[in-house]
Amino acid sequence: MVMAEEEESGVSIQLEFPKGRVKKIMALDKDVKRVSSEALFLVSRSTELFLQFLAEKSAQVAIEKKRKTVNLEHIREAVKRHQPTRDFLLDELPPPSQPTKPDRPTQPAGRPKLDPPPRGTRRIDLFFRKPELDDPAQAQPPENPAQAQPPENPDQDQAQSPVPVDES
């Protein structure tokens, strides 16, 4: 199925793709009635060149992203970078899916993103804050420092938050 061709220098080159299969793909176009052997050769050869070009660009993208395996995302990026290829091929590629292992982790590895806490949960730092007063006038310190009296119950602040009791 492989068709041998010769260059001007006399060195033979081989077409990588079977001409019968190339012909069948061309025949999918209903308008195509007859194809010359020269046209078939040119289509096969240009397809090889296109594949080599796209593989090379995809490999470059993979190297940029520090990956050893060329995958679909690298091909998509290579297609985007070449205008003529993008014009006819970008819409034909499968839609981008959410990668399970992204090329660059968006979240630092040490601090995973947690789910939001359930309603009614209080932050722990509220425990250490002074209770805020509704009246802003009361929040001002008294003019005479001697009038400032300590709270009658020194454990009053702590009494507001329940302390677990070990029943055992």
Partner 1 sequence: MEDSIGGSSSNDNNIIKEQDRLLPIANVGRLMKQILPQNAKISKEAKETMQECVSEFISFVTSEASEKCRKERRKTVNGDDICWALATLGFDDYAEPMRRKSRTKIQEASTNQNDLC
Note the residues at the interface with partner 1 (CB under 8 A).
Answer: 3, 5-8, 16-19, 21-43, 45-52, 54-56, 58-59, 62, 68-72, 74-75, 79, 83-84, 87-89, 92-94
Shortest separation between residue 2's beta carbon and partner 1, angstroms: 9
Closest CA to 74 of 56, 61, 64: 61
Nearer to partner 1, 31 or 166 (CB): 31
Q: How far apart are CA 89 and CA 114, in angstroms?
A: 40
Give me the sign of the Cα torsion angle 145, 151, 152, 154.
negative
Nearer to partner 1, 34 or 129 (CB): 34
Nearer to partner 1, 38 or 135 (CB): 38
Shortest separation between residue 23's beta carbon and partner 1, angstroms: 5
Shortest separation between residue 27's beta carbon and partner 1, angstroms: 4
Classify residue 111 by burial, with Cβ atoms within 10 Å: 0-12, 13-18, 19+.
exposed
Beta bridge partners of 13: 5
Shortest separation between residue 109's beta carbon and partner 1, angstroms: 25
> 62 with 74: CB under 8 angstroms?
yes
